[in-house]
Amino acid sequence: MTTSSTPTPDADPGSGVHPDRLLEDALHRVWGFSSFRPLQREAMHAILESRDSVVVLPTGGGKSLCFQAPALVPNGPQGGHYEGKAPRGGQFEGRIGVALIVSPLISLMKDQVDGLRVDGVSAAYLNSTLTGEQRDDVIASVRDDRCRLLYVSPERLMGDGSHGLRRMLQESGVRFIAVDEAHCISQWGHDFRPEYRQLGRLREEFPRVSFHAFTATATERVRRDIVAELRLNDPLVLVGSFDRPNLTYRVLRRGNLQRQLLQILARHENEAGIVYCPSRREVEALATWLGAQGHRAVPYHAGLADDVRSRHQEAFLDERADIVVATVAFGMGIDRSNVRFVVHTGAPRSLEHYQQESGRAGRDGLPAECVLVYSGADFVRWRQMLETNGELTDSARGLLRDMERYAAGTRCRHGALVEYFGELYARGACGACDWCLKELDLVGDSTIVARKILSCVARVRQGWGIAHVTDVLLGRATEKVVACGHDRLSTFGILKDESSAALRGYIEQLVGGGFLLRDGEPYPVLRLTASGAVLLRGEGTCVLYREVQPTPTKKRARGRLPDPVAGGADRDLFDVLRDVRLRLARERGVPPYVIFHDTTLHELVQRRPRTLDDLHDVYGVGAKKAADFGEVFLEALRAFSERQAGRTTND
Ligand code: ADP
Ligand code: MG
Ligand code: ZN
């Protein structure tokens, strides 16, 4: 692998222009973006001022740009040091130096380096996939100051035999060190990687460069670990909003899972999605079944051979597969930006996990959907599993309870999620969740229904599970019910007009709402909590709902961007452009989204640019991409218009 031979869009280090201008210029010229996302500018300033920083932004928040753009801009006059063995007499005069990016996975490095090169930025990675010659090329490009960003894994940087690499870097002058996916350093994060711990030692060898950590994990504990382990010095901590307004959240109680899935998939024809399943067995079964239904689906889990797994991952990234059915083993390496839906067929063990996994939808900012299909039994199963592994601590229980509360929640999902992560949710109705879209049918006399259920739980002496309590409420004189004399209780048949599915749903909502507790071995039984007892006494209220399926017209959040499933000519043109993109991607051996994002294709459809000049205003079209791909896309647009005109005159 060699570094890009095209002229790099570096700023001229001697120009004396204010770094802010240079950053903005890079944003427009190199990436074709019109403005910074929240906190990007602040994060970039920290780098240019050589101030250590921790940047916490949600998935899709644009963390990579925070270190990529400053790598092209020389440090300001006051701020900034180049690292060097002996920075005597202007040794680094006129040099920009390389930014060192620590990244945990080869696929992530490749993705970013591919993307940067298509944008005309010279970037490279060092990892085990390179030949000796390729590695020498990369090192030469760093030495000659031709490489702006160098990606390495922590093993490569700190492991055995890495001493020479670090010395080379010291001699060539490192601009700054960015640690991506920095939560990997913390045991409390969800992807703990022991090798990340070694990174703290870099401080001694590079005492004058600044360190910048990036993560999407918002918890305080993880953040503290990052600061301590990387030995950050009075870091600037930037924490962004965790709301993802383009995602529509829905929760369904698991009924006929296949039917529920088909309904979700019908809203996403030919679109990319991830279906997370709790076990490998379920992954295999669902992937096979989806294949039989005519979907391009591949399975992904840790039990598959390495080559099969990477083949499936690549098929998904290259858009040869639309759906990945996966266990949570599938995730961190996935930067495909146009994932339009993420379905969980079971509840994850915490809201952190849910947020992380569902957050892989809609990184491009276009509307996307996250559906949690769950049942109360999921939580019982989690508790049993954690218990078996000796992991059922108070904190694990608490996390599960919070997850359960979200699932059974009777309020805006966006609000529930961001408040869980410690933010205030000021917006009223979000317009992008089942609650706010009124897809949940409220039970008019919720509190009364709830009291009847709680009363029944009390009468069966808090010793029975959901099925039995449901039988009693429905007035079913089963053998067990009769044997216990529960057919003589005042609550026998007290809700006989409800369906058993609806009753189960209410009970699960009461569990999720903290009015009932469901645990015990070997059969979980229902018990009243303190708030359940209060509600039963006649104080307070509670809300219950029935589920209704979203109708096709309310399936999407109304975003600023065009509806990707809009039919007609626009859809045809979009597909044409998508084919062009695919061809270009194949020619270059990169995933299609590296060429252009869906957002860019949508803008091309909307604006129908005719000239290269028009093209420069389109989202995501930087100078390099305009030069490389502009004509091809303009030609496709022209041909489409002509065909369309021909069709109208013939009519
Ligand atoms: P993160 O690492 O925070 O999950 P990424 O760095 O992968 O997010 O960025 C997500 C997407 O947002 C990418 O497709 C990126 O090109 C895009 N993006 C980043 N910054 C901007 C911006 N200022 N304007 C428009 N798009 C942006
Ligand atoms: Mg990232
Ligand atoms: Zn809402």
CA-closest candidate to residue 279, choices 381, 361, 190: 381
In this prediction, residue 557 carries a pLDDT of 40
In this prediction, residue 88 carries a pLDDT of 35
Where residue 87 falls among pLDDT bands split at 50, 70, 90? Answer: very low
pLDDT digits (tens, 9 = 90+) for 427-481: 888 999 999 998 887 788 888 999 999 999 999 998 999 999 999 999 999 999 9
pLDDT digits (tens, 9 = 90+) for 589-615: 888 999 999 889 999 999 999 999 999
Interval 231-247 mean pLDDT: 94
101: which DSSP letter?
Answer: E
pLDDT exceeds cutoff 60 at 204: yes
Answer whether 600's CB lies under 8 Å from 611's CB.
no
Interval 305-324 mean pLDDT: 91
In this prediction, residue 108 carries a pLDDT of 87
Interval 284-289 mean pLDDT: 97
Where residue 90 falls among pLDDT bands split at 50, 70, 90? Answer: very low
SS3 of residue 111 by DSSP:
helix
The Cα-based distances of 281 to 284, 326, 377 in angstroms read 5, 10, 18
Where residue 15 falls among pLDDT bands split at 50, 70, 90? Answer: low
In this prediction, residue 73 carries a pLDDT of 87
| Whether residue 41 has its Cβ less than 6 Å from ligand 1 | no
**What is the C-alpha radius of gyration for the chain, rounded to an integer number of angstroms?**
28
SS3 of residue 36 by DSSP:
coil
> Which helix or strand (DSSP H or E) is residue 247 part of?
strand 247-253
Weakest-pLDDT range from 94-108, 378-392, 510-524, 621-635: 510-524
CA separation for the pair 214, 104 (Å, rounded): 12
Bridge partners, 546 (sequence order): 441
In this prediction, residue 161 carries a pLDDT of 87
Answer whether 242's CB lies under 8 Å from 58's CB.
yes
195: which DSSP letter?
Answer: G
Long-range CB contacts (< 8 A, 24+ apart) of 23-26? 23/48, 23/69, 23/70, 23/73, 26/69, 26/72, 26/73
Q: Which domains does the chain have, with CATH numbers?
A: 19-239 (3.40.50.300), 247-439 (3.40.50.300), 442-547 (1.10.10.10), 568-650 (1.10.150.80)
CA separation for the pair 543, 601 (Å, rounded): 44
| Whether residue 59 has its Cβ less than 6 Å from ligand 1 | yes
Burial class for 325, CB neighbours closer than 10 Å (0-12, 13-18, 19+):
buried
- The pair of structure tokens assigned to 247 is 């995602």
Bridge partners, 372 (sequence order): 251, 344
| Whether residue 36 has its Cβ less than 6 Å from ligand 1 | yes
Query: Which residue's CA lies nearest to atom 19 of ligand 1?
Result: 62
SS (H, E, C) 431-476: CCECCCCCCEEECCCHHHHHHHHHHHHHHCCCCCCHHHHHHHHHCC
Pairing of strands 98-102, 174-179: parallel
Query: Which residue's CA lies nearest to atom 17 of ligand 1?
Result: 62
Bridge partners, 368 (sequence order): 247
| Whether residue 337 has its Cβ less than 6 Å from ligand 1 | yes
- The pair of structure tokens assigned to 579 is 């084919």
CA separation for the pair 151, 164 (Å, rounded): 16
Answer whether 371's CB lies under 8 Å from 252's CB.
yes
SS (H, E, C) 542-584: CCCEEECCCCHHHCCCCCCCCCCCCCHHHHHHHHHHHHHHHHH
In this prediction, residue 382 carries a pLDDT of 92
CA dihedral for 451, 453, 455, 458, sign (positive or negative): negative
Point out the ligand nearest to the CA of residue 621: 1
In this prediction, residue 333 carries a pLDDT of 63
Within 13 Å of residue 506, how many CA atoms lie on the same side as its CB? 27
Tell me which residues have their CB within 5 A of the ion that is ligand 2.
Answer: 63
pLDDT exceeds cutoff 90 at 388: yes
pLDDT digits (tens, 9 = 90+) for 36-85: 999 999 999 999 999 999 999 988 889 999 999 999 987 654 344 444 44
Interval 15-22 mean pLDDT: 77
Point out the ligand nearest to the CA of residue 181: 2
Interval 616-644 mean pLDDT: 93
Q: What percentage of residues in the chain have a pLDDT greater than 70?
A: 89
Residue with tokens 């298509």: 118
> Which helix or strand (DSSP H or E) is residue 242 part of?
none
Answer whether 19's CB lies under 8 Å from 78's CB.
no
SS (H, E, C) 372-414: EEECHHHHHHHHHHHHHCCCCCHHHHHHHHHHHHHHCCCCCHH
The whole-chain average pLDDT of the chain stands at 87
Where residue 521 falls among pLDDT bands split at 50, 70, 90? Answer: confident
End-to-end C-alpha distance for the chain, whole angstroms = 54
Weakest-pLDDT range from 107-111, 132-136, 532-536, 646-650: 646-650
Burial class for 541, CB neighbours closer than 10 Å (0-12, 13-18, 19+):
exposed
pLDDT higher at 547 or 169? 169
Query: Cβ contacts of residue 196 below 8 Å, gap of 6+?
Result: 104, 154, 179, 182, 184, 185, 229
Where residue 89 falls among pLDDT bands split at 50, 70, 90? Answer: very low
CA separation for the pair 170, 162 (Å, rounded): 13
In this prediction, residue 551 carries a pLDDT of 52
- The pair of structure tokens assigned to 505 is 């749903």
In this prediction, residue 256 carries a pLDDT of 81
Pairing of strands 368-374, 339-344: parallel
| Whether residue 616 has its Cβ less than 6 Å from ligand 1 | no
- Tell which atom from ligand 1 comes closest to the C-alpha of 61: 3
- Tell which atom from ligand 1 comes closest to the C-alpha of 180: 2
pLDDT higher at 517 or 190? 517
CA separation for the pair 4, 117 (Å, rounded): 6
Where residue 561 falls among pLDDT bands split at 50, 70, 90? Answer: very low
Weakest-pLDDT range from 89-93, 271-275, 385-389, 635-639: 89-93
In this prediction, residue 16 carries a pLDDT of 64
CA separation for the pair 229, 183 (Å, rounded): 11
Query: Which residue's CA lies nearest to atom 5 of ligand 1?
Result: 62
Where residue 651 falls among pLDDT bands split at 50, 70, 90? Answer: low
pLDDT digits (tens, 9 = 90+) for 244-283: 999 999 998 887 889 899 999 999 988 999 999 999 999 9
In this prediction, residue 189 carries a pLDDT of 65
Answer whether 574's CB lies under 8 Å from 565's CB.
no
CA triple 94-235-20, angle to 5 deg? 45
CA separation for the pair 112, 118 (Å, rounded): 10
DSSP 66-96: HHHTGGGSPPPSSS-----S---TTTTTT--
pLDDT exceeds cutoff 60 at 395: yes
| Whether residue 37 has its Cβ less than 6 Å from ligand 1 | yes
Query: Which residue's CA lies nearest to atom 12 of ligand 1?
Result: 62
pLDDT higher at 648 or 468? 468
Answer whether 23's CB lies under 8 Å from 70's CB.
yes
In this prediction, residue 312 carries a pLDDT of 93
CA triple 224-99-30, angle to 5 deg? 110
Point out the ligand nearest to the CA of residue 40: 1
Residue 30 main-chain phi, psi, to 5 deg: -85, -45
30: which DSSP letter?
Answer: I
Interval 217-245 mean pLDDT: 91
| Whether residue 498 has its Cβ less than 6 Å from ligand 1 | no
Weakest-pLDDT range from 46-55, 91-100, 156-165: 91-100
pLDDT exceeds cutoff 80 at 496: yes
Best of 42, 65, 101, 247 for a ligand 1 pocket test (most atoms within 8 Å of beta carbon): 65
Instruction: Provide the residue type at 580 as one letter.
Output: V
Answer whether 518's CB lies under 8 Å from 562's CB.
no
